[in-house]
């Protein structure tokens, strides 16, 4: 069996999804997602200019060797652009493997460990009351877990993932304002004084059963993060996400020494080497690597197995920047992983998105039920794809009030 050609498509409804389609000499094809939010043309170019020419003629069943060929063979390893490109190839090869075996990918990993996988939704509010309405909406929809982000009184601009105005749309994550980054202003003191009580109020309103998650989005120093994690212990969070930047894996020790609040980290990681010490030293509770720039299914399986040895559960990234293809790769891993925790999920299921990526994964009552179709269980409609083109965007940048650049 041989790979005969491969094509990259960039575009989608409201997002620049980077979709890879690998064709074989047996008529079976595989699909992968190389989307790197706001930097989409880069993995697309890496695929087109360097990787696809080398893929032609390879045996698609040899996904391990192909992964090693690109990763070890590249000399300049790692980085989100390269790993998103390898990730897309890897997903497409597992898709092909499942299709030729006539089995859904989860069966190739070891079969289902659960019927459905719990997901969490994003609740957000310009202020606490607005946020409570948003949480209520998801609770009414049957969600068992909700991430909560709230406007901070007196903060010079809206804080992370919070709309500027009450009741405004959920575009806060998708509308990234063109190629020149928008500048946000951050005030750690205001956040640390306000947010713990806001979280306590949400717990009080919704009771003990709702899983409440909160994303600090790298805004605190390790010491501040330790203090915050300790402060919110009575809220019994499901997790506190990215409380500090994890470039220095040892820095996380300080949080552990001071608090039992569960910690989730990893959505910006792209290698097992970004998280191996965090996992082995049991400094985190959830690992958030994504199937795209985390290097695909092959590397995620290794991370999941390492995590399982150290009581770390999965909580894969699922922001709207991931296409239904990488979300499907994660659904299959979630169905199998003995140490599955939760899956981030933002409503992808618009009619336009479903038309571009037809699938029968089922979302019901805050649970995702993975498709039983062979492979990843997602297709790609090329005629729909002609409706979309690339549109440049950028993440905001954050500055402190004195102008110092801070972590977004
Ligand atoms: O591209 C950046 C977004 O994916 C990120 O800001 C989303 O933090 C995020 C999350 O938890 O989904
Ligand atoms: Mg996050």
Same domain? For 239 and 198 the reply is yes
Last residue of one domain, picked from the residues 104, 125, 144: 104
Q: Which atom of ligand 1 is nearest to the CA of 317?
A: 12
Instruction: Judge contact between 388 and 13, C-beta under 8 A.
Output: yes
Q: Is residue 171 part of a domain?
A: yes
* Count of positions (residues) in the chain: 408
Helix and strand totals (H; E) in the chain: 14, 16
Same domain? For 169 and 318 the reply is yes
- Give the number of domains in the chain: 2
Helix (H) or strand (E) holding 87: helix 80-101
Nearest CA to ligand 1 atom 5: 319
Task: Tell me, in angstroms, the distance from the centre of ligand 1 to residue 289's CA.
Answer: 11
With H, G, I as helix, E, B as strand and everything else as coil, classify residue 24: strand
* 321 close to ligand 1 (CB < 6 Angstrom): yes
Same domain? For 137 and 221 the reply is yes
CATH code for the domain in which residue 305 is found: 3.20.20.120
Instruction: Judge contact between 117 and 144, C-beta under 8 A.
Output: no
Cα-Cα-Cα-Cα torsion 299, 321, 143, 334, nearest 10 degrees, comes to -10
Instruction: Judge contact between 228 and 243, C-beta under 8 A.
Output: yes
Q: Which atom of ligand 1 is nearest to the CA of 241?
A: 11
Pocket test for ligand 1, best of 36, 40, 214, 317 (most atoms within 8 A of CB): 317
- Cα atoms in the Cβ-side hemisphere of radius 13 Å centred on 283: 24
Q: Quick one: how far is CA 30 from the chain centroid?
A: 21
* 343 close to ligand 1 (CB < 6 Angstrom): no
* 37 close to ligand 1 (CB < 6 Angstrom): yes
Q: Is residue 378 part of a domain?
A: no
Same domain? For 338 and 214 the reply is yes
What distance separates the 2 farthest-apart alpha carbons in the chain? Answer: 62
Last residue of one domain, picked from the residues 104, 125, 145: 104
Same domain? For 274 and 304 the reply is yes
Q: Is residue 400 part of a domain?
A: no
Q: Is residue 260 part of a domain?
A: yes
pTM for the whole structure: 0.97
* 319 close to ligand 1 (CB < 6 Angstrom): yes
Same domain? For 76 and 198 the reply is no
Helix (H) or strand (E) holding 33: strand 29-33
Tokens standing for residue 366: 């805050």
Exposure string of 337-368, with b = 16+ CB inside 10 Å and e = fewer, is bebbbbbbbbebeeeebeebbebebebeebbb
- The per-residue pLDDT for 189 is 97
Helices 222-231 + 188-206 axis angle, to 10:
30
Q: Is residue 397 part of a domain?
A: no
Q: Is residue 367 part of a domain?
A: yes
CA 34, CA 18: separation in Å to the nearest integer?
5
Q: Are strands 211-215 and 145-150 parallel, antiparallel or unpaired?
A: parallel
Q: Are strands 343-344 and 117-125 parallel, antiparallel or unpaired?
A: parallel
Same domain? For 327 and 232 the reply is yes
Tokens standing for residue 12: 């989608």
Task: Tell me, in angstroms, the distance from the centre of ligand 2 to residue 318's CA.
Answer: 9
- The per-residue pLDDT for 159 is 81
Last residue of one domain, picked from the residues 71, 104, 137: 104
Same domain? For 292 and 181 the reply is yes
Whose atoms come closest to the Cα of 15: which ligand?
1
Whose atoms come closest to the Cα of 407: which ligand?
1
Same domain? For 184 and 228 the reply is yes
CATH code for the domain in which residue 93 is found: 3.30.390.10
Helix (H) or strand (E) holding 263: strand 263-265
Instruction: Please identify every residue annotated as catalytic.
Output: 160, 217
**Spatial CA neighbour of 284 closest among 238, 252, 330:** 252
Q: Is residue 281 part of a domain?
A: yes
* 384 close to ligand 1 (CB < 6 Angstrom): no
Same domain? For 84 and 223 the reply is no
Same domain? For 328 and 360 the reply is yes
Q: DSSP states of 95-125 as a string?
A: HHHHHHHTSBHHHHHT--S-SSEEEEEEEEE
Same domain? For 151 and 204 the reply is yes
Nearest CA to ligand 1 atom 9: 319
Cα-Cα-Cα-Cα torsion 337, 338, 339, 341, nearest 10 degrees, comes to 70
CA 206, CA 133: separation in Å to the nearest integer?
11
Instruction: Judge contact between 360 and 81, C-beta under 8 A.
Output: no
Helix (H) or strand (E) holding 220: none
Tokens standing for residue 15: 């997002």
Q: Which atom of ligand 1 is nearest to the CA of 408?
A: 6
Q: Is residue 65 part of a domain?
A: yes
List the chain pLDDT tens, one digit each, 408 residues.
Answer: 999 999 999 999 989 999 999 999 999 999 999 999 999 999 999 999 999 999 999 999 999 999 999 999 999 999 999 999 999 999 999 999 999 999 999 999 999 999 999 999 999 999 999 999 999 999 999 999 999 999 999 998 888 889 888 876 555 555 566 789 999 999 999 999 999 999 999 999 999 999 999 999 999 999 999 999 999 999 999 999 999 999 999 999 999 999 999 999 999 999 999 999 999 999 999 999 999 999 999 999 999 999 999 999 999 999 988 999 999 999 999 999 999 999 999 866 789 999 999 999 999 999 999 999 999 999 999 999 999 999 999 999 999 999 999 999
Q: Which atom of ligand 1 is nearest to the CA of 320?
A: 4
CA 260, CA 240: separation in Å to the nearest integer?
11
Task: Tell me, in angstroms, the distance from the centre of ligand 1 to residue 319's CA.
Answer: 6
Nearest CA to ligand 1 atom 12: 319
Whose atoms come closest to the Cα of 242: which ligand?
2
Range of the domain at 168: 109-372
């Amino acid at each position: 069996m041989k790979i005969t050609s491969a094509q990259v498509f960039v575009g989608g409804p409201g997002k620049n999804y980077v979709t890879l389609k690998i064709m074989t000499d047996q008529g079976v094809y595989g699909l992968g997602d190389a989307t790197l939010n706001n930097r989409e043309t880069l993995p697309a170019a890496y695929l087109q200019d360097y990787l696809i020419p080398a893929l032609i003629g390879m045996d698609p069943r040899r996904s391990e060797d192909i992964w090693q060929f690109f990763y070890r063979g590249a000399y300049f390893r790692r980085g989100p652009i390269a790993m998103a490109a390898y990730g897309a190839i890897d997903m497409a090869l597992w898709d092909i493997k499942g299709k030729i075996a006539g089995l859904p990918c989860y069966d190739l990993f070891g079969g289902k460990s659960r019927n459905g996988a719990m997901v969490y939704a994003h609740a957000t509010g310009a202020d606490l009351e607005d946020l409570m309405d948003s949480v209520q909406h998801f609770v009414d929809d049957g969600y068992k877990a909700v991430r909560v982000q709230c406007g901070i009184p007196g903060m010079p601009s809206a804080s992370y993932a919070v709309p500027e105005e009450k009741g405004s749309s959920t575009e806060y994550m998708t509308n990234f304002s063109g190629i020149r980054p928008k500048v946000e202003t951050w005030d750690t003191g205001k956040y640390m004084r306000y947010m713990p009580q806001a979280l306590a109020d949400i717990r009080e309103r919704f009771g003990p059963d709702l899983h409440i998650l909160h994303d600090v989005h790298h805004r605190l120093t390790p010491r501040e993060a330790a203090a915050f994690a300790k402060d919110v212990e009575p809220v019994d969070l499901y997790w506190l996400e990215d409380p500090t930047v994890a470039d220095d894996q040892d820095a996380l020790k300080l949080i552990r020494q001071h608090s039992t609040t569960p910690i989730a980290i990893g959505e910006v990681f792209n290698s097992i080497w970004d998280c191996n010490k965090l996992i082995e030293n049991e400094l985190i509770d959830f690992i958030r690597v994504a199937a795209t720039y985390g290097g695909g299914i092959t590397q995620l399986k290794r991370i999941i197995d390492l995590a399982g040895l150290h009581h770390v559960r999965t909580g894969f990234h699922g922001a709207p920047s991931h296409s239904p293809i990488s979300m499907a790769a994660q659904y299959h891993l979630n169905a199998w992983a003995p140490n599955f925790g939760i899956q981030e999920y933002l409503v992808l299921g618009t009619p336009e998105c479903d038309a571009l990526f037809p699938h029968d994964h089922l979302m019901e009552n805050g649970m995702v039920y993975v498709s039983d179709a062979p492979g990843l269980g997602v297709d790609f409609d090329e005629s729909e794809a002609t409706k979309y083109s690339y549109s440049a965007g950028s993440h905001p940048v954050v500055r402190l009030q004195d102008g110092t650049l801070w972590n977004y």
